[in-house]
Amino acid sequence: MPISIEMTAATAGMESATLVRWLKAEGDSITEGDVIAEVETDKAIMELTAPAGGVLGRIDVPDGTDEVTVGRVIGWLLAPGEDASALPSTTANPPAAAAPAEPEPKPEPTPAEAAAAMPAAPAPSPAASAPQPASTSRPFASPLARRIAKERGIDLTTLTGSGPRGRVVRIDVEDLEGQAHLGQALPGQALLEHSGMRKTIARRLTESKQTIPHFYLTLDCAMEALLEVRSTLNARGEKAKQPYRLSVNDFLIKAVAIALQEQPAVNVSWQETGLLQYTHSDISVAVATEGGLITPVIRKAEEKTLVNMAAEVADLASRARAGQLPPSAYQGGGFTISNLGMYGIKEFSAIINPPQAAILAVGAVEQRPVVKEGELAVGQQLTLTLSADHRAIDGAVAAEFLACLRDLLENPLSVLV
Amino acid sequence: MPSKERLEALAPWCVLESTTTDWTGTNAKHLGTLLTSMQIIRAFEEAVLELVGKGLVHGPAHSSIGQEGGAVGSILALRASDQINGSHRGHHHFLGKALHYLMPDGMDPANPINPDIQTLLTRTLAEIMGLAQGFCRGRGGSMHLRWDEAGVLGTNAIVGGGVPMAAGAAWAHRHAGTGDVAVTYFGDGAANIGSVLETMNLAAAWKLPLCFFIENNQYAVSTEISEVTAEPRLSSRGQAFGIPAWKVDGMDPLAVNLAMEEAVATMRRGDGPTIVEADVYRFFHQNGPLPGSAFGYRTREEEDAWRARDPINRVAQQMIDQGMIDQTGIETLNTAARDAMQEATEALVDSSGEKPAIREHLWPSADFRDAHIRGDLTEFEGVRYVEQEDYTGNLESRRFVDTVAEVMHRRMSQDDRIVVMGEDVHRLKGGTNGATRGLSEDFPDRCLGTPISENAFAGLGGGIAMDGRYRPVVEFMYPDFMWVAADQVFNQIAKARHMFGGDSAMPFVLRTKVAMGTGYGSQHSMDPAGLFATSPGWRIVAPSTPYDYVGLMNSALQCEDPVLVIEHTDLYNARFPSPTNDLDYFIPLGKAKVVRKGSAVTVISYLSMVERCCTAAEALGVDAEVIDMRSLDRAGIDWDTLGESIQRTNNVLIVEQGPLGTSWGGFLSDEIQRRFFDWLDQPIQRVLGGEASPSISKVLERAACADVEEVEEGLRNVMAAQGRPLPANAN
């Protein structure tokens, strides 16, 4: 009997992915575990492995198909001795029918259970905790949207609805209509198709800004001492057996990791069922890539040495830029640092990365006039802006955290112990 | 010890009995007419019961066998131009008046049937069987028999329901000064219902030539009259209202005739209404061919005793005794009547098959179902329609309510047919709100203050409208009062044209005002639009400006159908540019008006909410198209205007002020989704008050009604649901 190859979920809660290309052709022999196709999720490109051995009998979903639903059959493996006549017809396998069944509803935990579970609970992955439209056997769409889609041959299952409960409304099909007529853009215009990653960023940040009550705290740090320590260490690092070079950002990550341990009230996540408290300082570091922003996670940063951490950050950043981060590398952080200092940005306010409750926006270290003991002087200054979720963190708590962070940065030796 | 003085009722009340000399002094022709008419009715009723037994009559057939003496004895005292109506047991009234109309000079027992009578019998039987050739095209059936030409206004299936309508006919007779009278027949069961008692009071107060003819057949279905009233002599009701009354043995047709002669003379003299109570007996049960004793509520002995006093035998025996006819003559009459019914039955029933069946081609066409719910509006041919944009007359700033009074004054000065009635409309400088200011001064006989009897005066208005000589404008001080007048408003006025076959007009204007916001509380704050919209027959207009009020009131008064004109207390004292020198233009029924152009959502509203919708749209900067519906009934929905807008905006918000239960938008949203489903980008949204009727407490009343804030919320919702949420700080 032929074996179906299905789109599998790379992460919990993943609903669909783009099938970038097949690495095998129809008729190729395949061993179980062979990489047979490349799949792009909203965060990374992944490899799809064969669920069994055999001959690739038929490809149902061609290269470059967007939003292939998890569970949808994308191809068939034939056992030895079978030929294509053993394959089911393609119409017998509509994508909707192959969609995963809705999971059984879980009973709500009692408050006591929820509280007891909290400290040990693993950090939720963003995908799992972000609100998702309920899995349905058909897309909700307004009558008008359905009529327009039918007239223009648009597959409603490929759309994300803007209406209540994810209902596809006119604006959604008309936006798509604009994309479909890319070649007809007016002179001086070009309509660039959204990547899956772009859509995810748009959706999650919109949701964040609309649902999380942000507040912002800003303070300046004197960086002379830290720059001096960094300079001393880097001079030694050049000559070390394993050479290293520390950035200001590495100090920052380490300082934040320590500050989070000292102010655990900031190392939290707002959940409808309760406040999730993280044990470790798992710090997401924003990395700009060609496709968009991605945030690999430095786990247990409070336990790592500066040197080890610097190496890890460099590795994650380069893999991220290559689009090769596995989901496990960018899921589950508890706090995000976004640093635009390298562009000379003095200060900015960042949007919280849900379900986290805070993000630190870091500007450039620069020389600024400062007043020291009544005298005007030139100082090396860094401006930090913390965005916090007021549902989870009160202003005074966040201020204490930020003050603690400044203290660590201004007394950098404390970061080393 | 206090002293007491016995009080006497103002009106006389007597028992009238015939004497031997009355009988011997009555000529053969008169008695022959009594006999012939009763015998034809008896034969007719027996034929109906036979058809009932064969399953050929759908629905009830309430036989009058045994009661012919009351109907025929009284009708012979009338003239052709007098009018009657009757109850669910009305075959004998209908036939009695129709026969008298066809044979005004009397009937001959030796030659009882002629072609006209044969046609009458066949068409009446056809109506009872629901066939197209019936007097009401088969719509009315046994309980709704109307032949306007013969003076039968229509029998009625609601106990007492026809009584106020008959008062309307009597009012028209009196106002026209013709000396004609109206007679309303009803049974003992109706003697205790509000419609009858309210109408007695009103008719007496206004001295209407209306005879309340009570056929006391002793039983309301199975309930004996003495079980349900402490005064079973039902003519006593006249004592309460100052109406002269006669009690008479209904099994003695001559006594009935003599009593009725006196009653008619009283009415023709202008002395107001009369009551005649005839004690009669139906030989059968409420309906069908079995005697009442078969159902156990009365005995065979009682039935036998009444049957022994059969009114037909009474007249026949008297005529035989006086040598006016012999037994052969009686047989000849009976045979002729039976043969006529045989002929009528054969015309309608095919007995050639295994079982007798109604001849197939005689049924009305099923597509006749909804015909004549309303008139065809041909009465509007040639009228001058002018919208405000095209108006060339003067517009001055006036209070809305001043225009209400002025346009009515203008119409009444131009059209003598218009008569205004309602509580206090003739006093207080134009009623409680000034809406009838100046009318009673200039038209004292056409601006009538009524007793607080909405059911009676609404029905009286309906009777005037159906009569056709005058055009009533009835005011309900508050719309909630329609509940106490519900039978007349919905069962009678709304249904009359359709139920009686489509030939009768109902040019009735009902004015009322929505008073939400005045603190009058749960029983004075409804918006009647939704409820009236459920009632086929009613047209509804709800003007939001004085300019539209004039045009729509002119159309309401022109229309041959009942029109509800809804006003609003919020608008009454507001100032608007109002027409002053030309109050004669019309605005079409069924024409909405786009008062604000837009493309993001079609906002549908009416009356005082129209302005609020515009205000909210401006405040939020929403590109909303606001449509003032103006006409609100099912036939008056302007689908051209709505459809054009909805297909362009793809989103609908229906805005009403009042509560959910009786709201108007429900039926409209149902219609919209069926017509425009494929153009909708979201479910039809609505703005409404709460579930409860508004309370008196100012805070609770505000919470129960929609206002600008609720409209804004509705607009936000409707924009958010199309993926275009408004910024939180819009406004």
Name the residue of chain A whose CA is nearest to B683's CA: A142
Cβ within 8 Å, pair A163-B678: no
Listed in sequence order, the DSSP H helices in A37-132 are 95-98, 111-117, 126-129
Count helices and strands in chain A by DSSP H and E runs: 12, 19
Cα separation of B544 and B608, whole Å?
Answer: 6
Q: Mutate which of B649, B722, B724 to disrupt the A interface (most A C-beta within 10 Å)?
A: B722
Residue A96 has what pLDDT?
A: 40
Phi, psi of B286 (to 5 degrees): -35, -50
Residue A242 has what pLDDT?
A: 87
Q: How is residue B230 written in tokens?
A: 């402490």
Nearest alpha-carbon partner for B526 in B658, B690, B433: B658
Cβ within 8 Å, pair B681-A162: no
Cβ within 8 Å, pair A172-B682: no
- B629 CA to chain A: closest CA distance, Å? 24
- B718 CA to chain A: closest CA distance, Å? 10
Listed in sequence order, the DSSP H helices in B206-252 are 225-228, 237-241
Cα separation of B438 and B427, whole Å?
Answer: 10
pLDDT tier, A180 (very low <50, low <70, confident <90, very high otherwise): very low
- Asked if the model's pLDDT at residue A99 lies above 50, the reply is no
In this predicted model, what pLDDT tens digit does every residue of A258-310 receive, in sequence order? 999 999 999 999 998 999 999 999 999 998 888 788 899 999 999 999 999 99
Residue A10 has what pLDDT?
A: 64
Does one domain contain both A44 and A143?
A: no
Count helices and strands in chain B by DSSP H and E runs: 26, 24
Average pLDDT over residues B567-577: 97
Cα separation of B483 and B471, whole Å?
Answer: 23
The answer to whether A93 contacts chain B (CB < 8 Å) is no
Contacts 24+ apart (CB under 8 A), A272-279: A273/A108, A273/A109, A273/A114, A274/A111, A274/A114, A274/A115, A274/A118, A275/A118, A275/A392, A276/A118, A276/A121, A276/A123, A276/A124, A276/A355, A277/A118, A277/A119, A278/A123, A278/A334, A279/A119
The CATH number of the structural domain formed by B13-368 is 3.40.50.970
* Range of lowest pLDDT (A365-379, B335-349, B537-551): A365-379
- Asked if the model's pLDDT at residue A119 lies above 70, the reply is no
Domain boundary among A46, A80, A98: A98
The answer to whether A209 contacts chain B (CB < 8 Å) is no
* Residue B618, amino acid: E
Cβ within 8 Å, pair B678-A146: yes
Q: Mutate which of A150, A156, A170 to disrupt the B interface (most B C-beta within 10 Å)?
A: A170
DSSP code string of B635-684? GG--HHHHHHHHHHH--EEEE-SS-STT-SHHHHHHHHHHHHGGG-SSPP
Name the residue of chain B whose CA is nearest to A173's CA: B681
Nearest by CB: B723 against A146, A147, A162: A162
Cβ within 8 Å, pair B681-A144: yes
Nearest by CB: A143 against B677, B720, B721: B677
Q: Is residue A157 part of a domain?
A: yes
Q: How is residue B209 written in tokens?
A: 């030539």
Q: Is residue A149 part of a domain?
A: yes
Which of A:379-408 have CB within 8 Å of B? Answer: none
Number of inter-chain CB pairs under 8 A, A vs B? 43
Average pLDDT over residues B402-421: 98
Does one domain contain both A180 and A233?
A: no
Q: Could you list the active site residues of B?
A: 524
DSSP E strands: which ranges in A208-282?
A: 214-222, 268-271, 274-277
Cβ within 8 Å, pair B680-A167: no
Q: Are B419 and B175 in contact (CB under 8 A)?
A: yes
Name the residue of chain B whose CA is nearest to A151's CA: B678
Average pLDDT over residues B206-224: 97
- Asked if the model's pLDDT at residue B87 lies above 60, the reply is yes
Average pLDDT over residues B313-337: 97
Roughly what angle, to the nearest 10 degrees, separates helices A395-410 and A224-239?
Answer: 50
Residue A12 has what pLDDT?
A: 57
Q: How many domains does chain A have?
A: 3
The answer to whether A256 contacts chain B (CB < 8 Å) is no
Residue A181 has what pLDDT?
A: 42
Q: Is residue A201 part of a domain?
A: no
Average pLDDT over residues B130-147: 97
- B646 CA to chain A: closest CA distance, Å? 11
So what's the ipTM on this one?
Answer: 0.72
Chain A residues with CB under 8 Å of B723 CB are 161-163, 169-172
H/E segment holding residue B325: none
Q: Is residue A58 part of a domain?
A: yes
Nearest by CB: A170 against B677, B720, B722: B722
Average pLDDT over residues B163-181: 98
Q: Could you list the active site residues of A?
A: 390
Can you tell me whether residue B271 is helix, strand or coil? coil
Chain B residues with CB under 8 Å of A143 CB are 677-681
Q: How is residue B131 written in tokens?
A: 């066939």
Does one domain contain both A239 and A351?
A: yes
- B612 CA to chain A: closest CA distance, Å? 27
Q: Where are the domains of chain B?
A: 13-368, 378-579, 593-720
The per-residue pLDDT of chain B, averaged, comes to 97
Q: How many CA atoms lie within 13 A of B164 on its CB side?
A: 28
Chain A residues with CB under 8 Å of B680 CB are 142-144
pLDDT tier, A178 (very low <50, low <70, confident <90, very high otherwise): low
Cα separation of B247 and A224, whole Å?
Answer: 120
Chain B residues with CB under 8 Å of A161 CB are 723
Q: Is residue A94 part of a domain?
A: yes
Q: How is residue A145 written in tokens?
A: 């949207």
pLDDT tier, B492 (very low <50, low <70, confident <90, very high otherwise): very high
Which residue carries 């019309």 as its tokens?
A: B586
Chain B residues with CB under 8 Å of A167 CB are 682, 721
Cα separation of B560 and A350, whole Å?
Answer: 71
Q: Mutate which of B669, B676, B678, B681 to disrupt the A interface (most A C-beta within 10 Å)?
A: B681
Residue B58 has what pLDDT?
A: 95
Q: Is residue A118 part of a domain?
A: no
Name the residue of chain A whose CA is nearest to B679's CA: A144
Cβ within 8 Å, pair B722-A145: no
Does one domain contain both A160 and A228?
A: no
- Residues in chain B whose Cβ is within 8 Å of chain A: 650, 677-682, 720-724
Average pLDDT over residues A360-379: 93
b (16+ CB within 10 A) / e for A239-270: eeeeebebbbbbbbbbbbbbbbbebebbbbbb
pLDDT tier, B479 (very low <50, low <70, confident <90, very high otherwise): very high
Residue B677 has what pLDDT?
A: 92
Q: Mutate which of A140, A142, A148, A207 to disrupt the B interface (most B C-beta within 10 Å)?
A: A142
Domain boundary among A83, A98, A113: A98
- B677 CA to chain A: closest CA distance, Å? 6
* Range of lowest pLDDT (A240-244, A248-252, B600-604): A240-244
pLDDT tier, A187 (very low <50, low <70, confident <90, very high otherwise): low
- A171 CA to chain B: closest CA distance, Å? 7
Nearest alpha-carbon partner for B375 in B638, B636, B135, B130: B636
Nearest by CB: A163 against B650, B679, B721: B721
Cis peptide before A355 (omega within 30 of 0): yes
Q: Is residue A293 part of a domain?
A: yes
Cβ within 8 Å, pair B721-A169: yes
In this predicted model, what pLDDT tens digit does every residue of B9-39 receive, in sequence order? 999 999 999 999 999 999 999 999 999 999 9
Does one domain contain both A160 and A261?
A: no
Q: Is residue A264 part of a domain?
A: yes
Which of A:124-163 have CB within 8 Å of B? Answer: 142-147, 161-163
Chain B residues with CB under 8 Å of A169 CB are 681-682, 721-723
> CATH number for the domain including A371?
3.30.559.10
Q: How is residue A267 written in tokens?
A: 């190392």
Nearest alpha-carbon partner for B535 in B662, B686, B661, B639: B662
The CATH number of the structural domain formed by B378-579 is 3.40.50.970
In this predicted model, what pLDDT tens digit does every residue of B285-297 receive, in sequence order? 998 888 999 899 9
Nearest by CB: A172 against B679, B680, B723: B723
Nearest by CB: B724 against A142, A143, A171: A171
In this predicted model, what pLDDT tens digit does every residue of A327-358 receive, in sequence order? 888 888 999 999 999 999 999 999 999 999 99
**Was domain B593-720 assigned CATH 1.10.10.10?**
no
Domain boundary among A170, A185, A200: A185
Residue A123 has what pLDDT?
A: 38
> Considering chain A, what percentage of its residues have pLDDT values greater than 70?
83
Chain B residues with CB under 8 Å of A142 CB are 680-682
Q: Mutate which of B648, B649, B677, B682 to disrupt the A interface (most A C-beta within 10 Å)?
A: B682
DSSP E strands: which ranges in A154-264?
A: 214-222
Whole domain around residue A78: which residue ranges?
Answer: 3-98
pLDDT tier, A65 (very low <50, low <70, confident <90, very high otherwise): confident
Can you tell me whether residue A92 is helix, strand or coil? helix
- B667 CA to chain A: closest CA distance, Å? 20
Cα separation of B430 and B498, whole Å?
Answer: 35
The answer to whether A214 contacts chain B (CB < 8 Å) is no
Residue A311 has what pLDDT?
A: 92
Which of A:222-241 have CB within 8 Å of B? Answer: none
Cα separation of B637 and B634, whole Å?
Answer: 6
H/E segment holding residue A32: none
In this predicted model, what pLDDT tens digit does every residue of B522-562 receive, in sequence order? 999 999 999 999 999 999 999 999 999 999 999 999 999 99
B593-720 shares the fold of B378-579: yes
The answer to whether A245 contacts chain B (CB < 8 Å) is no
Give the count of beta carbons closer than 10 Å to the beta carbon of residue B291.
16
Between residues B670 and A120, which one has the greater pLDDT? B670
Roughly what angle, to the nearest 10 degrees, separates helices B311-321 and B253-268?
Answer: 100
Cβ within 8 Å, pair B681-A142: yes
Q: How is residue B97 written in tokens?
A: 């008046």
Average pLDDT over residues A19-37: 86
**Which strands make up the sheet holding B152-155, listed edge to edge?**
B13-16, B245-249, B274-279, B210-216, B182-187, B83-86, B152-155
pLDDT tier, A7 (very low <50, low <70, confident <90, very high otherwise): confident
Residue B287 has what pLDDT?
A: 87
- B683 CA to chain A: closest CA distance, Å? 8
- B613 CA to chain A: closest CA distance, Å? 23
